[in-house]
Structure 1
């Protein structure tokens, strides 16, 4: 798919609330729940609980304004710094962080996470824990070598990136280039947790079709290895839902660490 035929996330932007409603809500006609909610919650929770991923600072570099990818992480890091390329996404996220009227309701995802953890009766505490762990939501320029220029962030212990590379990469070289940037933002031995959708050419937000980078598991594995990452875990789940909003074939979770 030629990326010039569709809008591109970090260049043209999209309606951040519509994106949440279409792919992450609890509406009856939202058919993506198994892939966009349950799959990341299960894999991230298991990785943090069973693994040795922890530290002072975690960076979140994810598309849109969703937060459920941070539910497990907030128990293992002192601070989570969220980087966003879009003012609209920042506003949407801050509306939830500051519990403002009209904020997107993440209660359904929080309850799912609680069920996975075995603490389904403490879902309100979980949301407050996430909020208290995020001291900063920062605007970033994804095209700059230092995305947060002029601010230089200290190397992080971990980066979570959910479907961002899918949305911003035009080709395989872009994917490798951004992995290189991620690597520079990590401490030696630091962890990179990736969530993505395989075989995608587009996704729809409202009336707009947006470009998606098309890749498969084999390419992702080779790209990570080529940029000095060691893969610790990889899970792929084939698509089971029916919708023409997005044409992905499967979802993927990869946990890797940067070689020292």
Structure 2
């Protein structure tokens, strides 16, 4: 699909609250609960509980102002650094961090995490742990070599990128270029965790359709290998419920580490 036929996330932006309501809310009618909430939460909880991915710094490069993917990570990293391309997403996220009136309620995601960990009475503690570990929310410019210039970030032990490459890439060259930039933020031996939607061409926020880079599992695997990553885990979840908001066929979860 031609990127010019739809809006581009990082160039035109979207309503961050509507995005959350469409794809990540606690609404029982929300069609993506299994794919966008439960599958990533389950996969991340299992990955981090194995104890092989941990350290001082985790950098998050994910779409919108989501935080549910950070609940599992907060137990294993001292500092969480979140990078966003949009002021609107930064404001939405900081509203939650600062516990301000009108913040998006992530209680359903916290409960899902602690239920999987067998600690169902500790969902509020989990939210506070994320808030305490989330030391920096910084704006990034994808056009710059150092995306957070003039800030210089220390090398990270791990990067999580959930659906971000899907929405900022126009083609395979873009994907490789941004993956290389992400790799530059990692220590040798550091890990990258990618979550994305396979074979999608668009997604909808409000009344607007946005461009989605179309790719499959084989491309994602080869892209990581070309950038010097060794894949530790790769799994997909086939889409079951169909609707008009987005046309993906499956969700992919990949864990890889950077060669020393």
What is the CA deviation profile of residues 147-199 of structure 1, one whole-angstrom value per residue up to 9, with x for unaligned ones? 00111111100000000000000000111111100111100000000000000
- Partners of 2:242 and 2:82 in 1: how far apart? 32
Separation (CA, whole Å) in 2 of partners of 1:114 and 1:37? 13
What residue ranges of structure 1 are gaps of 5+ in the alignment?
none
CA–CA distance in 2 between the matches of 1:178 and 1:118?
A: 37
Check if 1:253 corresponds to 2:259: no
Partner secondary structure for residue 122 of structure 2:
helix
What is the CA distance between 1:28 and its match in structure 2?
2.7
Q: RMSD value over aligned CA atoms?
A: 0.6
The yes-or-no answer on 1:172 pairing with 2:133 is no
C-alpha separation in 1, matches of 2:26 and 2:18: 13
Normalised TM-score (structure 2): 0.99
Partner of 1:78: 78
**Partner secondary structure for residue 173 of structure 1:** helix
- How big is each residue's C-alpha offset from its partner over 1:124-152, in whole Å with a ceiling of 9 and x where there is no partner? 00000000000110011012111001111
Structure 1 residue 51 displacement after superposition: 3.9
Aligned to 2:21: 21
Deviation at 1:241, TM superposition (A): 1.2
Give 1:90's aligned residue: 90
What TM-score do you get using the length of structure 1 for normalisation?
Answer: 0.99
Instruction: Tell me the secondary structure at the aligned position of residue 17 of structure 1.
Output: helix
List structure 1 segments (4+ residues) > 6 angstroms apart after TM superposition: none
The alpha carbon displacement at 1:101 in A equals 0.4
Give the Cα separation in 1 of the matches to 2:224 and 2:242: 31
Give the distance between the partners of 2:62 and 2:212, measured in 1 at CA: 14
1:63 aligns with 2:49: no
Instruction: Determine helix, strand or coil for the equivalent of 2:121.
Output: helix
CA distance in 2, matches of 1:252, 1:51: 22
Q: 1:24-72: CA deviations, max 9, x gaps?
A: 0011321100000001000001000014100000000001001011001
Q: What residue number does 2:132 align with? A: 132
What are the Cα deviations for residues 5-30 of structure 1, in whole angstroms up to 9, with x where unaligned? 10010000000000000000011321
Q: Tell me the secondary structure at the aligned position of residue 80 of structure 2.
A: strand
Q: Which residue of 2 aligns with 1:3?
A: 3
What stretches of structure 2 of length at least 5 have no aligned partner? none
In structure 2, the residue matched to 1:38 is: 38
**Residue equivalent to 1:219:** 219
**Partner of 2:64: helix, strand, or coil?**
coil
Count of matched residue positions in the alignment of Structure 1 and Structure 2:
260
Hey, what's the Cα distance between the residues in 2 that align with 1:9 and 1:65? 13
1:133 and 1:72 mapped to 2: Cα distance? 12
Aligned to 2:157: 157
Following superposition of structure 1 onto structure 2, how do residues 135-146 of structure 1 map, counting pairs within 5 Å? 135-146=135-146
Aligned equivalents of 2:117, 2:167: Cα separation in 1:
30
Q: How far did 1:242 drift?
A: 1.9
Secondary structure of 2:114's counterpart equals: helix
